[in-house]
């Protein structure tokens, strides 16, 4: 991938710029013709140096494509982000972190008034998670919350906005 980029850079090498710089102050026509002729000749004709060392200034600007792993924090970071523990909890289900290392709980609104919360990336027994979520929300709100389990995709959709509470609860459970 870097090779064609490099070759493009080579054609815009400092040789061409230096040549155009030298051609301007040359006053007479004969000198200008000599300059033009040297432009057509091979690159090493006028003692021009080619170097590819300056390419490192381009290379350091090219962005990475992979998301880096976050630095080590003891407990939660100042922003409120908590790193996932080293060992996963011993529960019948597992909830992976998203690719940006966050807990995969998202709130959703449809038609302006239908609020729901979605827990994604669930592996293992989704129904056990559903039961635990219902118990937790029963203690939180005092009434039964409607949930919808999708076993195929491994998601649980809960009626109402409980994003913050569910995120804190999942982090406290060890996900």
Partner 1 sequence: IYKSLFLLRLFSSFSGESALPSNLRLPPNLIGVPREKRAFPASTDLPVLRRCEADIPAHLAPVQTWLQSLESRHSEPLGVVDLHPDVFSVPVRLDILHAVEVWQRNFKRISYAKVKSRAEVSGGGRKPWKQKGSGRARHGSIRSPIWRGGGVAHGPRGPTSYYYMLPMKVRVQGLKIALTSKLAQDYLHIVDSLEIPTPDPHYLQDLAKHRQWGDSVLIVDVGEEFPQNILQATESLKTINIIPAIGLNVHSMLKHESLVLTLEAVKFLEKKLLWHDTRFTPLYPFKLPYSDLP
Nearer to partner 1, 1 or 30 (CB): 1
For residue 68, the tally of other CB atoms under 10 A from its CB is: 7
Q: Enter the DSSP assignment of 29.
A: H
Nearer to partner 1, 60 or 143 (CB): 60
Q: 19 CB contacts (<8 Å, ≥6 apart)?
A: 35, 38, 39, 46, 48
Smallest separation (angstroms) from partner 1 to the CB of 96: 7
Smallest separation (angstroms) from partner 1 to the CB of 88: 4
Nearer to partner 1, 2 or 109 (CB): 2
CA distance 100 to 75: 18
Smallest separation (angstroms) from partner 1 to the CB of 24: 35
Nearer to partner 1, 146 or 151 (CB): 151
Nearer to partner 1, 66 or 143 (CB): 66
Smallest separation (angstroms) from partner 1 to the CB of 84: 9
Please report, as ranges, the residues that interact with partner 1 according to CB under 8 A.
1-2, 5, 59, 62-67, 86-88, 94, 96, 99, 123, 152-154
Smallest separation (angstroms) from partner 1 to the CB of 173: 14
CA distance 82 to 105: 14
Residue 120 burial (10 A CB sphere; 0-12, 13-18, 19+): middle
CA distance 134 to 44: 77
């Amino acid at each position: 991938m870097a090779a064609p980029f490099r070759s493009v850079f080579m054609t815009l090498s400092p040789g061409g710029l230096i040549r155009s710089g030298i051609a301007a102050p040359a006053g007479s026509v004969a000198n200008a013709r000599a300059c033009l002729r040297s432009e057509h000749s091979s690159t090493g004709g006028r003692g021009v140096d080619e170097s590819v060392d300056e390419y490192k200034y381009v290379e350091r600007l090219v962005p990475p494509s992979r998301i880096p792993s976050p630095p080590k924090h003891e407990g939660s970071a100042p922003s409120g982000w908590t790193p996932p523990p080293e060992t996963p909890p011993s529960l019948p289900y597992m909830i992976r972190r998203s690719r940006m290392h966050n807990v995969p709980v998202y709130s959703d609104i449809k038609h302006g008034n239908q609020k729901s919360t979605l827990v994604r990336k669930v592996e293992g027994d989704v129904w056990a998670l559903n039961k635990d979520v219902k118990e937790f929300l029963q203690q939180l709100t005092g009434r039964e919350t409607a949930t919808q389990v999708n076993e195929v995709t491994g998601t649980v959709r809960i009626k109402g906005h409980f994003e913050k509470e569910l995120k804190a609860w999942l982090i406290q459970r060890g996900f």
